[in-house]
Chain A
């Protein structure tokens, strides 16, 4: 805005100004004596502009006015408060008001877009100073004050002294010419509309404002380094400095200015946005491409500085500009391949002076990857903070391709340069934006990215991108013109899988450990959502990520949990109930699934969180579009648990042995305790209702209850999944029925079963045969009549207990043997191998019988490997082998690991649960630090 006046003004004036600036710099240390006269002049001029403003104010914009108006009003009310406080001599509230006033001042100045301190403020300062002096002078009154009041008074004294130093001359002016300030103040107070119009005009008429600020420049030449708004002045000056004929600007001037601005970083009173603007301006006047690059780096980091807090996010507009800057950087780097960006080499003082025609390499300090990662983080944060149900959120999501294009270009650049490690990091960022997208979403993104730029731009224009446009126009045309070389549009391969594969291979080759682990997890996730369970499972097992997940950082642990959840869903869709249950049970064992997936904060009844913890947790949250549907997840988990647990419960009516899914059992108990069972409302109720039906073998009702859940429509291949579910329910209903009621039958025809459970003859035969084989069902087929003939196998309680004892004893002996082996260094001396083999067999047998007695505990062959796991010598072998083979060849480890997993799955969840517990705790613990 202020810049626009430079367009309209002739050279002569700018030169004049230049002189002035120089003289100002020269006379910085001069005494204030000469200012009296000058001050008068400015004051008059000021008054005049004031009048001018109000004259032309009729066509003011309402929109802008309101905000300004509000700020000014607020300030005025604060001043009023102060006056009141003075009247009652209340220093405590006075101090408060003063602080509020100071805070407000900055806002007002920004809104007013003038460099001038509001008169109101100066006036208040004067008032306060006088009152303070008076209070201090009145010793008796001071003694009478309450202690808090006196303390406040003292604090006020210090503060005011410090504060007023900044505005010394203003105050002085005010004292000398109280009437002008009085005027204005009065004006402010009783004529609000006037003020409004005034501000409106100021916004509207740049020329006027121009002269206004020009006056300011002359007026307060030596408060350069004080107030926050003075930087604006500085910029003006800078503009002037650079408004010279382009040829006159040298590299040195730019460099000096750059250093000055850079040095101002973090200093109190440096406006962050202003810094960005200044630096952006500098990029235009940079003399060499290298210098331009250097300044651009500073611009980008200044842009990142705009938002100081960890919680908030960078403003979207700044983010967009930042993206553009990154692209510009890449343009430069592409056009001048001799410019090298790195952090290792300390560049020469004059390194960037080397021009475009310089042949050798030019080093510029900077870290593209860090910038890119920051960009990504900021993007992520915006999404975290935005309400997902608003248009903003969608708008923001649409900007994802913009980031992807930068990332793609940076990666290309890094690959070209040969910095493959960094390229792998960038690739990971890209992966993390793509991995959770199923093919449909991916296609949508691709289409969006391929859309002509205009339509997207239009959207931008609607939201108001004028300041940016103005930014581009301000200042002289850039010295170093960089054409757009790097593509501004991302190119996506047809399927998300191809993209992932390409990025993956890069990461696996060159990435560091964490990058690889995360990328692997993303890859598994992506496989899981594309319904490739076996591939995903193999990847997970081969990578041994499960072993080390507790040691990873929290965000990776969350990713891991997400992967497990998605893997569970994938297994469920594929009809692998046991696997799905194995994946999900851990997540649900603690009841903190939201926290584990970082999809919302769960309030714990017993544990109050400190705000600090809450903030940390909030920072970890996943943006909404990456969420895994919790209802679907819960339904999947509970249905899997139901399908496993219901026959299991029916089989083990004799003894209360370890349940397969404790969570499910608990829920079931709770629902059974209810005196009145209403119609199902949530997911849990539905599954419980289905469980009750299934318990009686009523598969139709069970299925109809389950399928009435709303969430199934979220599934891609809904029909198929429901069909699978129906079949599974029928199967388990058949098994449950046989478990529960086999004792009531002497024989049962296959025909009857097939009609009861609506299964094909072959299928029913296969299920029943399996049960017979695993000795879960004591019966055999009578082939000519196609009947099941049941054998009456009665077991007394004593026998049952004896089996228990036998089993426990065998465990004891096993552990004894293991201890012995450990003692003798794992050698098997003394125990001849043959004997050991027998021993193992017998333990196997023991298990087998346990199975037989207690009904189903997973397949018989599985109990086979539970027994095998008992041989600790073998186990040790695995361990060693795994160590040898490292990550890839160690499918070995993977295989055995999987068996372990399976073994644990089916032998109840103590080991696994413990494992999981540890993981949860660790996540939690680190979370609470």
Chain B
């Protein structure tokens, strides 16, 4: 059950507060024995449920607030106190307040290092309060800072990037535009390198988001290349599936891996999120993943086959015969597929579009024309601009 569970690896890069939701998910899924999860939860709980310590905090916080509100001459000490206070709030689990505190702190503070830390704090609290829009903003801000800041060591920067990617998983799998966001961010060279260096397990999330995202199909090639490179350090059914399909063209293997993927997705805290539609409980990512994966298999299969037995196809697609026929019919109808169904023999006959050589040559040359034209245009523009400037002088 726990074969492909990444929680332990993920948790290493997360704040312990952020681990909490993961643990709850695991508890719900009953992957691990209850006691183990409880044991992992314990330190945090112990703290949160200790009313005395929370009480202790109160006066302190109020004192600080007091200071802020009453006197406008706020010294640096008080500002720092604000930070500490926010930290304490966070530790106690009052996430909603923390954001406000830290926001003020960032406005007031001059200490850049601490203000970055405050930003992390804000991000965490936004995530924990499930305020995804705000969290995405914080994330982008933090990303900018990490990219622009010169760190003492490259290792440090790498670590920061990896943290950021882990934290961002919360956002990307909850925010509505997250699926584009995750691809944009993770495929950025620096982040991709960070993944390859020290966080190969993130490839699972990347792979799923690429498969699920229809519009970003072009990233598939790059993804597969990365998966192949990192094969020795990380593999799970999701990456295996892609490898089987696009590297080995082993359709049976892909089929098998796809089956395994289901469990992986359901057991993953980020991917296996349920949404209740009416009465039924669905996992949207799983459904989308399967739909797309099926399409992938089908596309690839059709590409190299002229004539396919429908029953075998249905089996490969993990569907019933009728279902498959219906599905293919839809594809043919929507002119996505250039094929006909031979119902008598139960085969799908694929028209080979015998490509015309001339067309290919023309295609490749046509493009050159436009490109050169653009280039020439640019150069002319530039020289004209220069001339005008000269005249202007």
Chain A residues with CB under 8 Å of chain B are: 534, 542, 762, 765-766, 769-770, 772-773, 780-785, 789, 791, 793, 795-796, 799, 802-803, 806-807, 809-810, 813, 816-817, 820, 824, 829-831, 835, 838-839, 842, 845-846, 849, 861, 864-865, 868, 877-878, 881, 884-896, 898-899
Contacts and interface: CB of A to CB of B under 8 A. Distances in A.
Contacts of B382: 824, 830
16 contacts: A762-B250, A784-B309, A784-B345, A791-B354, A795-B357, A813-B372, A831-B374, A846-B364, A861-B246, A877-B189, A884-B154, A885-B158, A888-B154, A889-B154, A891-B197, A894-B193
Nearest to B197: A891
A706 B374 CA distance: 56
A794 B282 CA distance: 52
Interface stretch (B22-30, B81-89, B201-209, B221-229): B221-229
B249 interface: yes
B374 A889 contact: no
A820 B304 contact: no
Nearest to A891: B197
B364 A892 contact: no
Contacts of A885: 154, 157-158, 190
Q: Is the interface of A mostly helix, strand, loop or mixed?
A: helix
B196 A817 contact: no
B308 to A, nearest CB: 5
A793 B365 CA distance: 21
Contacts of B381: 830
Nearest to A800: B357
Contact of B307 (A766, A784, A895): A784
Contacts of B65: none
A830 B378 contact: yes
Contacts of B345: 784
Contacts of B361: 799, 802-803, 806
B313 to A, nearest CB: 8
Interface in B301-317: 303-309, 312
Contact of A813 (B222, B225, B368): B368
B352 interface: yes
A865 B189 CA distance: 14
A807 B365 CA distance: 9
Contact of A781 (B158, B305, B375): B305
Contact of A865 (B193, B225, B306, B308): B225
A817 B371 contact: yes
A894 B230 CA distance: 13
B52 interface: no
Contacts of B193: 881, 889-896
Contacts of B303: 772-773
A527 to B, nearest CB: 12
B304 A769 contact: yes
A878 to B, nearest CB: 7
Interface residues of B, number: 57
B363 A881 contact: no
Given A784-B347, A831-B374, A845-B364, A861 B250 contact: no
A809 B365 contact: yes
A270 B318 CA distance: 93
Given A780-B350, A816-B375, A892-B190, A806 B368 contact: yes
B307 A835 contact: no
A899 B229 CA distance: 10
A773 B347 CA distance: 22
Given A783-B309, A802-B361, 16 more contacts: A772-B304, A780-B306, A781-B305, A784-B307, A784-B347, A789-B306, A807-B364, A817-B371, A885-B158, A886-B153, A888-B153, A889-B155, A889-B158, A890-B193, A891-B197, A895-B193
Contacts of B365: 806, 809
Contacts of B246: 861
B192 A895 contact: yes
A534 B357 contact: no
Nearest to A824: B382
Nearest to B253: A762
Interface string B264-306: 0000000000000000000000000000000000001001111
Given A783-B312, A889-B154, A838 B367 contact: yes
